[in-house]
């Protein structure tokens, strides 16, 4: 057999079943010399280099061991590794040719038993292979046998040290990490130690999970970190189950875990591979926005910042749109869905919060099917003809089928203007319209669109809101739209800046095919170009006593019956006598309900009256301050 050995020379005969050991030492001047070790070191033979194994040890000038490398030349050992290991992430070899690996020989630690089983199963005729493998185990035993047994004994007690924690993570084996106390099952890809001045030392664990990159499903990678300072206090051993990630075998739950996670995984796959509007109730995390002018030379090392909050409301799930707005999660290695283990799907899913108006991360287990009101328009206190008109226009509107085709969308939008004083029902009208059409409501104010006072940012935000609304066939509510509605003027730079915003708005509105509600508290002079784009304008008035009574009744009836005193309905006339608008009534009831719950009582008139009394005092102080301000003078 013509065989290539470690240093590039050839041997026509079989390699010697022996280990050749070399020592490289550094003298005081920094010069390095390489010499053969004593013959007593393992089975070192003569100076011939055609050995089954070659060990290279390097020492510093003080005689301390710096590194050890093992070169495998034996085709018997290579075949054993091909059949029992196959591949290992930190060893760049297919085990068909001689290769070299450095200490601490992670592959040999993790596959010790696998190689031993292979050796045990060898036929009686395979004496040469058995001899080479015995030599291999002799090296392994001398090099790491004692430490392996000591570490495994510690693992058996459920504890580990930071320096040895990598041994917990055998590539391909299942591991568990917790996300907001919810278990997440992954498979080990590889591990590596890192260190910097800020965080100290840490073990980085790369795990594979079943994911979706917006285009295809398959294996994706998630990185977890075990910090020495944070997870191993004073350098002492730590309980394995207290680590941020650990092997599945240490997790207390039995096989029911996989079954439960597969059910969750099917829900995750459904939410991640399609667009849907759902209800959510529970803890969530929103992605903190990075200011457009932010720069730091170290920002490449920054991770996304997720902030916790409690969500209860409508959420739009659309992974593809999330990835367009945020940095990519990486590409998946495509797999047929039948080949994926749904137990390895993440416990969270990305979605857009209609209430918070941003992308968030939600727990799959807290997502519920959206429920829609049967007669949402009944909540509106509007003249019957206006209510019927809104209902007809919204119900019959045709959304574009191709959300990226601008030519198809031109001039096909529905623009409804709602004008009137605060609390008169404008926002509620848009909410009821979205409920009626069973669509998500994307609301945004002028101040939110232009919060950085930048025309570029304004156009980017406006275009993105309208694009999302087109993709989701959602209803859009643009609040505080006065700047778009008033006539443009020439003159100052402020007027020119506003004119530019209006021009941008009109251009994007022209190519939006969905439903837009514009709200304003006042209109001085209506812009001609804007007026021509409004299909319906509805005026609102401050609610009178009859309307206030109806509003009180609607909101009270939406509260759970067990939380409301049955006699409260008899007090509607007294409640309606208070001069409040719709928003103030809703706020009043919310505050009174909280007050009642704090006293473990059902909502009664006395709770509302207490809140009203506090409000009256505030109004008196406010009126007094206003009168004093009218007569104030400065010297």
Distance CA 464, CA 324 (A): 10
The three-state secondary structure class of 511 is coil
> Element (H or E) spanning 22, and its range?
strand 16-26
Can you list the alpha helix ranges (DSSP code H) found in 100-175? 106-110, 112-120, 127-140, 146-156
The phi-psi region of residue 438 (left if phi > 0; otherwise alpha if psi is between -120 and 50; otherwise beta) is: left
Which stretches of the chain drop beneath a pLDDT of 50? Answer: 1-12, 39-46, 48, 631-635
The radius of gyration of the chain from alpha carbons, rounded to an integer in Å, stands at 35
Residue 248: count of CB within 10 angstroms of its CB: 16
Q: Which distant-in-sequence residues (6+ apart) come within 8 Å of 627 by Cβ?
A: none
Q: How many helices (H) and strands (E) does the chain have?
A: 20, 25
Residue 61 pLDDT? 84
Residue 83 · residue 126 · CB < 8 Å = no
Q: Which distant-in-sequence residues (6+ apart) come within 8 Å of 531 by Cβ?
A: none
Distance CA 172, CA 483 (A): 59
The phi-psi region of residue 86 (left if phi > 0; otherwise alpha if psi is between -120 and 50; otherwise beta) is: left
Residue 89 pLDDT? 93
Axis-axis angle for helices 112-120, 127-140 (nearest 10): 150
Could you give the angle at the alpha carbon of 484 between the alpha carbons of 483 and 485, nearest 5°?
95
Tokens representing 1 are: 């057999």
**How does DSSP assign 600-625, residue by residue?**
T--B-HHHHHHHHHHHHHHHHHHHHH
Residue 155 pLDDT? 96
Distance CA 112, CA 94 (A): 18
Residue 321: alpha-carbon gap to chain centroid: 13
Output helix, strand, coil percentages for the chain, rounded to the nearest 5: 40, 25, 35
Q: Phi first, then psi: what are they for 514, rounded to 5°?
A: -95, -160
The three-state secondary structure class of 478 is strand
CA atoms within 13 A of residue 467's CA, in its CB half-sphere: 15
Residue 566 pLDDT? 85
The three-state secondary structure class of 234 is helix
Q: Phi first, then psi: what are they for 86, rounded to 5°?
A: 85, -65
Residue 237 · residue 159 · CB < 8 Å = yes
Tokens representing 467 are: 């694009």
**Measured between alpha carbons, how far is residue 454 from residues 122, 449, 457, 485, 609 in Å?**
74, 10, 5, 20, 46
Burial grade of 560 (CB within 10 A; 0-12, 13-18, 19 or more): exposed
The phi-psi region of residue 491 (left if phi > 0; otherwise alpha if psi is between -120 and 50; otherwise beta) is: left
Whole-model pTM?
Answer: 0.82
What string of H, E and C letters represents the secondary structure of 255-289? CHHHHHHHHHHHHHHHHHCCCEEEEEEEEEEEECC
Distance CA 530, CA 540 (A): 20
Q: Which of 487, 466, 488, 495 is nearest to 478 (CA)?
A: 466
Distance CA 230, CA 250 (A): 21
Distance CA 156, CA 160 (A): 9
């Amino acid at each position: 057999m013509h065989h290539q050995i470690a240093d590039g020379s050839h041997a026509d005969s079989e390699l010697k079943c022996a280990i050749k050991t070399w020592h490289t030492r550094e003298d005081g001047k920094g010069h390095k010399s390489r010499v053969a070790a004593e013959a007593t070191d393992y089975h070192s033979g003569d100076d011939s280099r055609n050995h089954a194994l070659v060990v290279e040890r390097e020492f510093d000038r003080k005689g301390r061991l710096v590194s050890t490398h093992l070169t495998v030349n034996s085709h018997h050992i290579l075949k054993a590794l091909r059949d029992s290991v196959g591949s290992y992430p930190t060893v760049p070899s297919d085990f068909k040719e001689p290769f070299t690996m450095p200490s601490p020989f992670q592959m040999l630690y993790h596959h010790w038993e696998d190689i031993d089983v292979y050796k045990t199963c060898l036929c009686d005729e395979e004496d040469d292979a058995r001899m080479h493998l015995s030599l291999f185990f002799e090296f392994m035993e001398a090099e790491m046998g004692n430490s392996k047994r000591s570490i495994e004994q510690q693992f058996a007690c459920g504890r580990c040290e930071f320096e040895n924690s990598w041994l917990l993570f055998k590539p391909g084996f299942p591991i568990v990490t917790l996300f907001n106390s919810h278990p997440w099952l992954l498979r080990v890809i590889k591990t590596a130690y890192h260190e910097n001045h800020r965080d100290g030392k840490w073990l980085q664990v790369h795990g594979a999970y079943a994911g979706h990159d917006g285009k295809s499903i398959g294996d994706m990678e998630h990185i977890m970190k075990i910090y020495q300072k944070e997870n191993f206090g004073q350098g002492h051993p730590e309980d394995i189950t207290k680590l941020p990630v650990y092997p599945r075998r240490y997790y207390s739950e039995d096989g029911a875990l996989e079954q439960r996670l597969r059910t969750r995984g099917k829900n995750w796959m459904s939410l991640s591979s399609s667009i849907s509007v759902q209800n959510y109730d529970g803890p969530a995390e929103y992605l903190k926005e990075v200011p457009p002018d932010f720069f730091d030379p170290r920002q490449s090392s920054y991770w996304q910042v997720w902030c916790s909050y409690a969500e209860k409301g409508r959420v739009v799930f659309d992974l593809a749109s999330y990835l367009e707005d945020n940095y990519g999660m990486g590409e998946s290695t495509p797999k047929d869905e039948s080949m994926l283990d749904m137990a390895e799907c993440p416990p969270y899913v990305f979605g857009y919060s209609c209430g918070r108006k941003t992308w968030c991360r939600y727990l799959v287990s807290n997502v519920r099917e959206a429920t829609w009101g049967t007669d949402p328009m009944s909540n509106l206190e509007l003249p019957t003809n206006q209510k019927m008109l809104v209902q007809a226009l919204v119900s019959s509107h045709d959304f574009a089928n191709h959300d990226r085709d601008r030519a198809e969308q031109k001039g096909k939008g529905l623009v409804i203007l709602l004008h009137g004083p605060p609390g008169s029902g404008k926002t509620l009208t848009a909410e009821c319209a979205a409920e009626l059409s069973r669509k998500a409501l994307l609301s945004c104010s002028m101040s939110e669109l232009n919060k950085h006072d930048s025309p570029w940012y304004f156009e980017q935000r406006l275009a993105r809101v309208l694009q999302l609304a087109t993709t989701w066939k959602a209803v859009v509510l643009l609040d505080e739209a006065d700047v778009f509605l008033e006539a443009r003027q020439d003159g100052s730079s402020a007027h020119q800046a506003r004119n530019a915003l209006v021009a941008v708005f009109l251009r994007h509105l022209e190519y939006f095919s969905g439903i837009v509600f514009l709200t304003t508290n006042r209109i001085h002079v209506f812009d001609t170009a804007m007026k021509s784009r409004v299909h319906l304008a509805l005026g609102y008035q401050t609610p009178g006593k009859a309307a206030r009574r109806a509003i009180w009744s609607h909101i009270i009836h939406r509260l759970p019956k067990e939380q409301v005193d049955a006699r409260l309905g008899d007090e509607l006339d007294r409640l309606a006598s208070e001069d409040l608008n719709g928003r103030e009534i809703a706020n009043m009831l919310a505050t009174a309900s909280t007050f009642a719950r704090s006293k473990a009582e059902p909502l009664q008139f006395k709770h509302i009256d207490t809140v009203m009394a506090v409000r009256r005092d505030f109004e008196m102080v406010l009126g007094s301050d206003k009168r004093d301000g009218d007569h104030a003078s400065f010297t």
